[in-house]
Structure 1
Amino acid sequence: MNPADVLAGLDPEQRAVAEAVRGPVCVLAGAGTGKTRAITHRIAYAVHTGAVEPTGVLAVTFTTRAAGELKQRLRALGAPGVQARTFHAAALRQLTYFWPKVIGGDPPRVIESKVPLLIDAARMLRRNPDRAELRDVASEIEWAKVSQIAPEEYPAQAAKHRRTPPIEAAEVARLYDAYERLRRERHLLDFETILELTAAVLTEHREVAGQVRQQYRHFVVDEYQDVNPLQKLLLDTWLGGRDDLCVVGDPNQTIYSFTGATPRYLTTFTAEHPDATVVKLVRDYRSTPQVVELANRVIAAGSRPRHHHLELIAQRPEGPKPSFVEYDDEVAEAQAVARQVTKLADKGVPLREMAVLFRINAQSEPYEQAFAKAGIPYLLRGAERFFERAEVRQAVVLLRGAARADQGEPLAPAVHHILQGVGLTPEPPGGGQARERWESLKAIAQLAEDVAAADPAARLPDFVADLERRAAEQHAPPMEGVTLASLHAAKGLEWDAVFLVGLVDGTLPIIYAETPDQVEEERRLLYVGVTRAREHLQLSWALARSPGGRRGRRPSRFLDGIRPGGSSAGPAAAPRVSRAVAAPLRCRVCGATLVSVTDRKLGRCSGCPADYDEALLERLKGWRAAVARTAGIPPYVVFTDVTLQAIAERAPLTEQDLLSIAGVGRVKLDRYGAAVLEVIRGEDL
């Protein structure tokens, strides 16, 4: 391909990225501004001009799907030799290759989940293992490991970083230590250890480092705002003091700090590399001007320094204004969204181009029910991966076998015939697992039709090869149904129509967000949600959880000043929004700002008089003791004394009211919520 052809069609900023063929380069890329296009064209331009050898480039991404998309685009641009991998895939490949040479023997086995090993660690410590609790402990261990925090350092560091571990920090540390001992004894690797050991091997063995650095001379790192300290350590080890590095990221989309990711490597890139080329991509090709304006207003209201903002400039034609809708309860909200989905579908918007996004996965239930009742197919994103589903694996095996005996039949009819044998029918079944199975098979059949339409000469062997490539890259075919997903799972995706639901204080921002930085991360989650929409956008909230429930919820503070009738500005508010900060939590007795963790949990100053039913508190303590005794755990693991007192003082009557109390949380709500509400009502257990 001619180098000039690679640059054709790029906007001025994208072209500036493409022409900066040698590092250091920092690309600040806003949502919908074509960052993948810019970096793939940069790599291809560097290859075609001879500035780099394709085999000397390593492009690092955070997901297998993103790596697959990079490879696909680079192949189309005539640069197929470039390696695009996730941090973990690249590190594991190197570690496995060098292990026999520098360590000897077979490399350790990689574990997908920490929970089975944590169950053994808990038993070793004579703890009664609780799988849900151990999943939360696993998350804490992952944060500690990527932050390079040893088990004995965990309690102090968890307190310093305002972590909220599911059990006492000292207990997390004990489980962390036991987990690590068992992992080493059993010759196992988790994802964090892969990165850590690869960096160690490169540091301690100069010949290995030399070989890797001779192979990879040029690095590109996507989503650089999500890099954690351990990934940065490995990247620096790969570079070995060189600076031929291009990083791409958006500070406005930093939403993974709870995992140990930090935007500081992106925001301080020019301090680390004073001679870096910096390019800002701000032309938004995804969303209408109305959606872009709202996104800009959401992020501008935050407290992050102004120079870290990327103000997007819309490039699409005008579209409908985003709508803000208040409902009496969550059931009414879900039913109304289902009606809106039907209306949009009637107007020609495909179901696969619509999404309902929420803060936590537990919010999906009323939408699943409403959609099922309305006969609207839906897909739960974040559930089992498409190519790991039993029916998909079975279908691929059958298609692979048929491909070996291919007689040159037209592709689409051949695939349909094979899939009929495993359950593909002309019309979908009513619902449940049968419907999900049918949707998976239908997606494969539809993909075959799309491939045949694009290439009439394509046959079954070609299609099977394409399926296997998609499976390796986790590139699932599009499925006909409305996507239900958390805001975190939606990052990197886009739809014609997006419904942002459940936007109430305590959910967005989540109740756990206590520090200004944590609240600002919640604001960025809303920004990510807004920027997923191409044209239609609705933001909604419900005043009560259940029909007839107390309508005591408050719309998310992030909507203040940007919605009609919002508390800090009316409908006439200009695009320029007054600077907003997280509202302080005040004592419900004297009105003073609450500072200490205990006071914030109680909702009042510790010196102010308490107002609660002492008999209720005693009932709660008795219930807690019984639960702890049955489970074989300390009472404080169920709820601390402070949390029980806060419950007694507020006497919540609904699960949402209970969730608003610090120290409860979604996991404990699911586990103990119904029983606690029964105790409050004075019902026998």
Structure 2
Amino acid sequence: MKIIADLHIHSHFSRATSRDLNFEQLTRWAQLKGVHIVGTGDIAHPGWLKEMQEKLEPAEDGLFRLKQEYLTAIQKEVPKACQAPVRFMLAGEISNIYKKNERVRKIHNVVFLPSFEAVEKFQARLDKIGNIHSDGRPILGLDARDLLEIVLETDPRAYLIPAHIWTPWFSLFGSKSGFDSIEECFEDLTPHIFALETGLSSDPPMNWRWSALDRFTLVSNSDAHSPAKLAREANIFETELSYQSLFDALKSGDPNHFKGTIEFFPEEGKYHYDGHRKCGICWDPRTTLQHQGICPVCGKPVTVGVMHRVELLADREEGEKPERVAPFYSLIPLPEIISEVLGVGPSSKRVKKNYEQLLSSLGSELYILMDAPLEDIRRYGSELLAEGIRRMRAGEIVVKAGYDGEYGLIKVLEEETSPARDNEINLFGESDVSISAPLKVGEQLSLFSVAPPSVAPGTESSEPPFSPAPATRDTEEQEHHQSFDASHPGEAPTELTSAIFAGLNPQQRKAVQHTRGHLLITAGPGTGKTRTLTHRIAYLISEQGISPENILAITFTNKATNEMEERLLHLLGTPLTERITVKTFHAFGTMVLRAHSGYLQLPEDFTILGEKEALALLKSTMTAKSDHGGEAYLRQISLAKQRLLGPDSPELEEFSVELPDFSTVYRVYQNALEKFNCVDFDDLLRLCVTLWEKHPEILQEYRRRYRWISVDEYQDINFAQYQLLRLLVTPQTNLCVIGDPDQAIYGFRGASRDYFLKFKDDFPDVQEVQLQRNYRSSQTILLASGQVIAASADRITPNIWSDIVTQTRIEIHQAPTHKAEAEYVVHEVEKMVGGTSYFSLDSGRVAGEEEVKDYSFSDFAVLYRLNALNRDLKEAFSRSGIPFQVVGETPIYERPEIREILSCLWLILRPSSQFHQQYLRERLGDMESFLDTLRPHRGTTPVVELIQTIHSELQRRRKISTSKAHLESIQKLERMAETYGANLLSFLDNIMLRKKEDEYDPRADRVSLMTLHASKGLEFPVVFIIGCENNLLPYRQNGKESDEEEERRLLYVGMTRAQHKLILTYANKRLLFGKTMNNPPSPFLTDIENTLKEFKKSVPSKSPKKKKDGGQLSLF
């Protein structure tokens, strides 16, 4: 049977779509248009799935129909001549925005599934990856190849077709963000792609010019954003009515079953050709190339259109065809032809009225445009209408291609025919002739009635067949265009070579080659600290013959440790790198304590408690409630331990001024730790120092071993870390420290920059090197941040500089409220990415003519002084559908679902741990019998398998949630466990030693939201710092004075995270902690000279007038 299918549309859950995109209206309009199978659209959206399950019921294989209870009412609005059964296929578009091969890719793909069960499974996979709730077409930071893999794993009959493959911004071959070959995109899974959607911007002849597409079936769909836009483009099949039959036809391309496509005219688009609208220059691509893309009027590059991209990839001349081609039929929507006949707009009441009468008299729109005899059109329309349709069918049209934002024109009636229009005003008068007898109640409709009752079955029209003619673009697609330079951005950054001195500047080289005496390196932000340290270590081993076992490198975060190890692997290879000790301070302390725990009456597998666990233990030991709470006591205990003060130290008296009985609370807490064989985070260094002081023979072992020590971020060490180093360093030790006093931001944790400043007093023979060349930020950013830090009263370090020069100034944005501030950030991200959807351009959120850098979501960071400031940001990003990650709120080991699994793992390792037994008993009941089954596998079963087994058991007990956040945490834990094999103790140590800052995942293609503190050590092309207001920066808690110099340094750290663009924002009014604040801008902003700043204000935007949809007609 003959079937017309439009398989790519959207629902009312998609942004910038009609609220009428529901199954009732889709069923109605499919009949008016003459479409038999409609894609449901938006299968990734949970709300739309719920609506599907409510309103649709299974029909033929893999197809669905509207339930009778919903169908009855809507059929009253469909003319008898148009009525026909309508089927739905489960389909929807996914937006993939990600980086691949050093370019940002924005690819749209349409996914097809045969059942609701498959859709549920598909949604469950995507829900773990990104936000599928905010937009019917979700935006995922997921490689299109990986999406295809998920599709193939979802169901054996699941398929993927790349959408509108030539659209500049959002497609497989798009000039702005696409690929030059399908293999580059889908890699090893390319054989699973069998069809390509040409899109409204191209027609089959354009695609025939590139032989690489010959093996694919070319399909066309409407990508409708309202029901009236159905069948702008569609596909014609001659198959049985089933899901599999349609896809078998597409996979084979068999001309007996796939009968071709219905197309728009592409010239109508605003950016089909190249040119300059203001200069009156309109060129085809070849003319553009002949002129080297330069406008002869103004001398600037012309705006390059869609056709240009096809020309660049084409390997056939225009008019050449491949061996296998399917027919295609280029149409003009019927309302547009009626509009031209009447000389009025297509959305006018006269056009609507006559459109309704024609459908009522003759049948569906596609039947009228493609098959209705011209005599019938003359009879129920007019001579001029029949002539217009005849010309369209014959390809006798007048085409003026669009260019540089100027819409093209497709006309079927020459201007000289216009006088006849005067006689056409009443040409669609009421007819006396009865076109069809009314259908009897319950009469079965045939699925495809080619002719209305006035045409005898089997009668062929004498009209000439269609001649192939080109397709037009959807408004959403038309808004995009490209600049002339279609070449890719520069090559990927040059990788490190094996040569030790490759890429080092003179100051870095001086530091690397220094081997006699201690070394103090002052390194400003972006000056290559890690590179200098790693190259120096490589130099010591490869050039100076130092044994790797004699080298210790100490970092502050696990991220820094991992980065250093990766660089050393590249420079030295695996065997040598594995012999070097690279650890954080606390990891080093753990290593020492595990090796000598017996000296401190600790078991070798002692437990390390996280902050929440330590707090729970402390609270359990406090006999009376304090006005200050356990948090205040634990915070002061931490500071005491950093100062190496035990519970019985006389110096604890100062702590009791604000916290009554502090020493008693500390002592009881410490006794509880010892009772449960636990240590807290600060004990790892305090006990290490205690061990070395009590047992100098053990200290001597480490002194003999580590003769070459490097310490990163030396400006942020505390007294315990300082004392540990002083014990470890001897006259025979070579100590190298690197840091920046201007970036000392952890005074509230007990750190002090004074240790850096007095390093030369501690080690008089020190050699000092200053790294001043910045490789990260533009000179404008460095000048502005330098002016902020230069106002510091105690600054001693020199300014840094960069040879990255841009015209971009520091943007200072004033928002009326905190919510407006968050919306502004989201809007700017969307704009700089180049729009996340067609809505971004249609709505004016993103201007199509703007030059946009190659940014992906992971290139953006939004920084703030307090976590409390991120609430509005999270809401705004969630609404937009832009993927984001929040960094630094809660370490993974403190999340409830992870604490349960880790407690189980600790009990597998050490069954006698009363602390974890009690924790699990309170939450899950008795777990001993289950854990007994796992203990024999300790040391042999991979940790990741233990985690999976425990998680399954906890789910079975239904004591934990299975939310998206929960599942993401479990998956993250599993990924972290993969590298540890069966070494359970090492894995547990690593997890417990993680800091909040370590939660940043650089692989996630998401916008990062984090505190200024958490941003330390990171860099991003674009940085927003919100809340730049007095009392927030500098922060004054409850009106108390803060360390203003440290607050200044904190802003400096945040500003110097930015590479290309820095935006500082503040709000006139802000709701925080339940109070409305009207803070003035931060005083730090006044330190930046005005020539470096660009001031902006939020301007309330007027609600755009709703465009009348020329095709959104009401019948009867």
TM norm structure 1? 0.66
CA distance, structure 2, for counterparts of residue 462 and residue 225 of structure 1: 32
2:684 aligns to what? 194
Structure with more contact order per residue of length (Cα contacts < 8 Å, sep ≥ 6): 1
Question: What is the Cα deviation at residue 86 of structure 1?
Answer: 1.0
Q: Which amino acid aligns with 2:803?
A: Q
Instruction: Report if the CA contact (8 A) 1:513-1:519 is conserved.
Output: no
CA drift of 1:368 comes to 0.6
Structure 1 equivalent of residue 1056 of structure 2: 531
Cα distance between partner residues in 1 of 2:1078 and 2:973:
46
Could you tell me how far 1:104 is from its partner in structure 2? 6.1
Aligned equivalent of 1:139, options 635, 638, 647: 635
- Residue number in structure 2 paired with 1:221: 711
> Are residues 513 and 218 of structure 1, via their aligned partners in 2, closer, same or farther at CA, if it must alter by over 3 Å?
farther
SS at match of 1:560: helix
1:293 paired with 2:819, answer no
CA contact (8 A) 1:74 1:82 kept: no
CA contact (8 A) 2:609 2:679 kept: no
* 554, 558, 562: which one aligns with 2:1080: 554
Distance across 1 between alignment mates of 2:1071 and 2:689:
52
Aligned counterpart, 2:860: 354
1:512 offset after TM fit, Å?
3.8
* 1:287-335 alpha-carbon deviations (Å, 9 max, x no partner): 0111111110110011114xx2231101323251110111111011111
Query: Structure 2 residue aligned with 1:365, among 862, 871, 879?
Result: 871
1:185 shift after superposition: 3.4
Letter in 2 for 1:290: T
Assess, with a 3 A threshold, how the Cα gap between structure 1 residues 480 and 209 changes in structure 2: closer, same or farther.
same
Letter in 2 for 1:337: V
2:789 aligned partner, one-letter code: I
Paired with 2:775 and 2:753, the residues of 1 have a C-alpha distance of 24
Q: Counterparts of 2:891 and 2:859 in 1: how far apart (Å)?
A: 19
CA-CA distance at 1:30 after TM superposition: 0.3
Look up the match of 2:1035: 510
Paired letter, 1:175: V
User: Does structure 1 retain, via aligned residues, the 8 Å contact 2:776–2:1059?
Assistant: yes
One-letter amino acid matched to 2:1029: V
Distance 1:269 1:105, change over 3 A: closer
Structure 2 CA distance, aligned partners of 1:96 and 1:314? 45
In 2, Cα distance between equivalents of 1:111 and 1:57: 26
Question: Given the alignment, which residue of 126, 134, 146 partners 2:623?
Answer: 126
Measured in 2, the distance between the counterparts of 1:149 and 1:442 equals 40
Is 1:278–2:771 an aligned residue pair? Answer: no
Task: For 1:119 and 1:128, locate their aligned partners in 2 and report how far apart those are by CA, in whole Å.
Answer: 14
Is residue 2:823 matched to residue 1:335?
Answer: yes
Deviations along 1:611-646, whole A, 9 cap, x unmatched?
A: xxxxxxxxxxxxxxxxxxxxxxxxxxxxxxxxxxxx
For the residues of structure 2 that align with 1:55 and 1:228, how far apart are their CA atoms?
26
Matched, 1:312 2:800: yes
Match of 1:479?
1004
Query: What does the per-residue CA deviation read over 1:82-135, in whole Å, with 9 as the maximum and x for residues that have no partner?
Result: 1101111112212211234x45672472332354454454454432489x9423
1:95 is aligned to 2:593: yes
Q: Give the distance between the partners of 2:1019 and 2:566, measured in 1 at CA.
A: 19
Q: CA 1:363 to 1:103, structure 2 compared with 1: closer, same or farther past 3 Å?
A: closer
Q: Distance in 1 between matches of 2:683 and 2:967?
A: 39
- Name the CA shift for 1:279/1:122 in 2 (closer, same or farther; >3 Å): same
Q: 1:334 to 1:504 in 2, by over 3 A?
A: same
Distance change (3 Å), C-alpha of 1:537 and 1:433: farther
SS at match of 1:313: coil
SS at match of 1:341: helix
Residue identity matched to 1:207: E
Query: Deviation at 1:169?
Result: 2.2
Partner residue in 2 for 1:63: 557
Q: What does residue range 618-637 of structure 1 map to in structure 2 within 5 Å?
A: none
**Once the 2 structures are TM-superposed, how far is the Cα of residue 150 of structure 1 from its aligned partner?**
4.7
Tell me the residue number matched to 1:427: none
Counterparts in 2 of 1:304 and 1:433: CA distance versus 1, 3 Å: farther
Identity of counterpart residues, as a percentage?
A: 30
Query: How many residues get paired?
Result: 510
After superposition, give the CA deviation of every residue in 1:546-577 in whole Å (9 maximum; x if it has no partner): 49x9773111111123264xxxxxx599xxxx
Match for residue 498 of structure 1?
1023
Q: Which one-letter code corresponds to 1:335 in the other structure?
A: E
Deviation at 1:514, TM superposition (A): 8.6
CA apart distance, 1:545:
1.3
> What secondary structure is seen at the aligned counterpart in 1 of 2:588?
helix
Equivalent residue of 1:304, what SS? coil
Amino acid at match of 1:381: V
Let me know the Cα RMSD of the aligned residues: 4.1
Query: For the structure 1 residues 114 and 241, does the alpha-carbon distance in structure 2 shift closer, same or farther, using more than 3 Å as the test?
Result: farther
Residues 36-59 of structure 1: per-residue CA shift (max 9 Å, x gap): 000100010111113421110000
Which letter does structure 2 place at the counterpart of 1:76? Answer: H
> Letter of the aligned partner of 2:872 in structure 1?
P
Aligned-residue offset at 1:140: 2.0
Structure 1 counterpart of 2:582, one-letter code: A
Cα pair distance change 1:511/1:383, threshold 3 Å: closer
Structure 1 runs of 4+ with >3 Å offset: 102-105, 114-125, 149-159, 171-174, 240-243, 383-391, 432-445, 461-465, 471-477, 512-517
Structure 2 unmatched runs, 5+: 1-495, 835-851, 902-939, 941-947, 953-960, 1094-1116
Does the alignment pair 1:185 with 2:675?
yes
Alignment of 1:538-549 (within 5 A): 538-546=1063-1071
* Partner residue of 2:514 out of 6, 20, 33: 20
User: TM-score scaled by structure 2?
Assistant: 0.42
Structure 1 stretch displaced more, 185-194 or 17-26: 185-194
Superposition pairs for residues 73-112 of structure 1, below 5 Å?
A: 73-78=567-572, 79-80=576-577, 81-100=579-598, 102=599, 106-107=603-604, 109-112=606-609
Task: Kindly indicate whether the alpha-carbon contact (under 8 Å) linking 1:351 and 1:480 is maintained by their aligned counterparts in 2.
Answer: yes
Question: CA contact under 8 A between 2:1030 and 2:1083: conserved in structure 1?
Answer: yes
Q: Secondary structure at the match of 1:33?
A: coil
**What letter is aligned with 1:362?**
A
For the structure 1 residues 439 and 59, does the alpha-carbon distance in structure 2 shift closer, same or farther, using more than 3 Å as the test? same
Contact in 2 for aligned 1:118/1:179 (Cα 8 Å): no
Task: Check whether the contact 1:117–1:182 (CA below 8 A) recurs between aligned residues.
Answer: no
User: Residue 442 of structure 1: CA displacement?
Assistant: 11
Q: Do the aligned partners of residues 49 and 262 (structure 1) sit closer, same or farther apart at CA in structure 2, a change above 3 Å counting? A: same
State the one-letter code of the partner of 2:570: A
Which amino acid in 1 is paired with 2:782?
A: V
CA distance 1:283–1:120, shift in 2 (3 Å) = closer
The structure that is helix-richer by fraction is 1
- Cα pair distance change 1:463/1:203, threshold 3 Å: closer
Aligned to 2:624, what secondary structure does the other structure show? coil
Call closer, same or farther: CA 1:329–1:155 in 2, change over 3 Å.
Answer: farther
Residues 517/265 of structure 1: CA separation in 2 closer, same or farther (3 Å cut): farther
Deviation, 1:63, is 1.4
Alignment of 1:390-401 (within 5 A): none
Contact 1:21–1:51 (Cα < 8 Å) also in 2: no
Q: Deviations for 1:153-178, whole angstroms, at most 9, x for unmatched residues? A: 5665459xxxxx9xx32254443232
Higher Cα Rg: structure 1 or 2? Answer: 2
Matched with 2:744 is 254
2:706 touches 2:733 (CA, 8 Å); kept in 1? no
Letter in 2 for 1:488: H
Change (3 A) 1:572 1:183: closer
Structure 2 equivalent of residue 39 of structure 1 = 533
Q: CA–CA distance in 1 between the matches of 2:737 and 2:645?
A: 26
Equivalent residue, structure 1, for 2:446: none
| CA contact 1:353–1:495 (8 Å) conserved in 2 | yes
- How far apart in 2 are the matches of 1:36 and 1:149? 33
Residue 761 of structure 2 is aligned to residue 267 of structure 1: no
